Amino acid sequence: MSDMSERRYDLDWLRIGAFALLILYHIGMFYVSWPWHVKSSQTGPEVYEIVQPLMLLTNPWRLALLFLIAGCATRFMADKLPRGKMAKARSWRLLLPIVFGMLVIVPPQTYYEVVTHMGFDEGWVAFYMKYIGFHDGWRSNGAPLIVPTWNHLWFVVYLWVYTMLVLALRPLLHRLPLQRIAALFRQPLALLVLPPVFVGLLRLLLKPIFGETHALLDDWYLHALYLSLFLFGYGIARYEGIWRSIERLRWIALVLAVLVYVVMIWAVVTNSGGGARPFIWALDQWAWIMMLLGFARRLMNFDSPARRYLTDAVFPFYIIHQTAIVVLGYHLTRLGLPVGAEAAILVAGTATACVVGYEIVKRVGVLRPVFGLKGKPETSDRTRATVTIP
């Protein structure tokens, strides 16, 4: 096991890129046929045919990649801090944004959702009183709306839970035969084949039973998937041999990712594949992750002012973005603009809301912690030594 004390700028860049894709994905949800909080009135089958294959390009792997990177970053941080101090730091960094988000950031999403799907016309104040009063009479897309809710902040909730679990089990985790496990995953065939087989089995056996709820207590398929990836990232973080293997596999992973993506689209369009579809999905997911990790390690392990800015900005961007999309999208679509113009304005408006929001938040001391920012407004990030996590 290598010390790997150098800065992992490549993982920072990947985290930034994955969150950027996630924001674009949520903009895409405004235009596809899949259920979401609000929808564009300008969309239709001709738009679905263009947008949905692009959504499926990132759907299998973008969140999986984020949990794997978060596992790596957790290992780097855990090796520097006592468990109690790290638990306190992570709880402060993650729980405050969750609570603030549920009470302030997320409610506009639910407001426009019940206005859209239920014709709610009692106004914002009446809505908010019901929202914080655990109102149980709202439904959307055929399912009850549970309020208060965390909506897109489920990722932060799960990240906190997984971090606390790893910290609690850290002594046991380090008693595992890590050297032998690492030796296995240094082998290219094992690294390419074993994870997608495991993930495919999870998808085959657990997803039909539990689905995907993002509700924490009943989300056993996603816990099995994302906690496994988080632990994998935690486990490989400091094993230089595994990272060298990932880098060597980058071209093979790229070819595999493209081929399997084509097969996956064919299976979706033709409704074929049967019992193989969970494994097609899993192989697509893992090939893209390996490709991105490999090329990032090869080409993106460098610092820049943009990296320093975006490393801090990306978490507030994430907190802000979905509310911006829902609010802007709801009002934009009522203007009757062509779908291309509407989408362009929505992308630009969401980006502007994120940047302006971050620029305000980082300057106001009382807002920094509720948007996941550390330190005082004048604190610089130039000395950060490793990949960060939200």
H/E stretch holding 10 reads helix 9-28
Residue 296 pLDDT:
98
**Residue from 350, 389, 390 nearest 371 by CA:** 390
Arithmetic mean of pLDDT, 197-210: 98
**Residue from 61, 24, 50 nearest 256 by CA:** 61
Task: List the Cα angle 356/360/363 in 5-degree steps.
Answer: 145
Encoded tokens for 163: 């971090």
pTM for this predicted structure: 0.94
- Residues 309, 314, 320, 322, CA torsion sign: positive
Q: Where are the domains of the chain?
A: 1-59+304-368, 62-235
Arithmetic mean of pLDDT, 344-349: 98
Residue 6 pLDDT:
60
One-letter identity of residue 345: I
Task: For residue range 173-182, list pLDDT tens digits in order.
Answer: 888 888 898 8
**Residue from 98, 104, 112, 109 nearest 150 by CA:** 98
Whether the CB-CB separation of 73 and 7 falls below 8 Å is answered with no
Percent of the chain that is helix, strand, coil (3-state, to 5): 70, 0, 30
Residue 5 pLDDT:
52
State yes or no: pLDDT of 89 exceeds 70.
Answer: yes
Whether the CB-CB separation of 147 and 138 falls below 8 Å is answered with yes
Arithmetic mean of pLDDT, 257-281: 94
Residue 60 pLDDT:
96
Residue 299 pLDDT:
97
Encoded tokens for 64: 């999986």
**Residue from 226, 185, 182 nearest 66 by CA:** 226
Band (pLDDT 50/70/90 cuts) for residue 374 is confident
**Residue from 331, 341, 323 nearest 37 by CA:** 323
Encoded tokens for 280: 């097609």
- Residues 95, 69, 356, 337, CA torsion sign: negative
Residue 81 has φ and ψ, to the nearest 5°, of -115, 145
Task: State the Cα–Cα distance between residues 357 and 24, nearest whole angstrom.
Answer: 18
Whether the CB-CB separation of 342 and 332 falls below 8 Å is answered with yes
Band (pLDDT 50/70/90 cuts) for residue 387 is low
Arithmetic mean of pLDDT, 176-193: 91
Task: State the Cα–Cα distance between residues 375 and 231, nearest whole angstrom.
Answer: 28
Residue 382 pLDDT:
45
Q: How many CB atoms lie within 10 A of CB 308?
A: 16
DSSP letters, 43-65, are --HHHHHHHHHHHHHHTTTHHHH
Q: Tokens 């997803």 correspond to what residue?
A: 207
Task: For residue range 134-166, list pLDDT tens digits in order.
Answer: 999 999 988 899 999 999 999 999 999 999 999
Class of residue 105 by CB neighbours under 10 A (exposed 0-12, middle 13-18, buried 19+): buried
Task: State the Cα–Cα distance between residues 50 and 45, nearest whole angstrom.
Answer: 9
Arithmetic mean of pLDDT, 36-47: 95
Helix (H, G, I), strand (E, B) or coil at 122: coil
Q: Are strands 139-140 and 143-144 parallel, antiparallel or unpaired?
A: antiparallel
Q: Tokens 């996590």 correspond to what residue?
A: 389
